[in-house]
Amino acid sequence: MNDPSLREMQAPLLVLGVFAGHFWHLPAPTVSVSSVFPDRLDLDFFDTPAAFEAWREALGIAPQTISERVQRNGVNRVLEVEAEWGGARLRLRSFAPVLTLSEERSRVEVAS
């Protein structure tokens, strides 16, 4: 396998620059661009799906395209969505603890 050049990673890097200029007010994700997938920009969010949702909405990604799964023996909830944006493949992921029923009720009561 040949290692891609930085030029082959240009699209996700340019999109990242656009995001920094236009979406500076959104919560900061963990960002990665990899030579394994040189055309993809990954934005990962940890602990709360709210940041994931803010980015999904700002980017105009339809909520019905989100996939959801549970990992680590039911401990972590993972939300994931992929989309094309500015010539790059974009992947947003959220990793958050699965709340118990009492934790969910407490969260709803605090928000009310």
Closest among 43, 30, 29, 25 to 90, alpha carbons compared: 43
What pLDDT is stored for residue 101 in this prediction? 52
Asked if residue 92 belongs to a domain, the reply is: yes
Residue 58 falls inside a structural domain: yes
Q: What is the tens place of the pLDDT at every residue in 1-29?
A: 577 788 999 999 999 999 999 999 999 99
Give me the number of domains the chain comprises: 1
In a domain, 44, yes or no: yes
Give residue-wise pLDDT tens across range 37-93.
999 999 999 988 999 999 999 999 999 999 999 986 778 999 999 999 999 999 999
Domain that holds residue 78: 34-111
Cα 39 from Cα 33, distance rounded (Å): 8
pTM of the full structure: 0.84
Residue 88 lies in a domain: yes
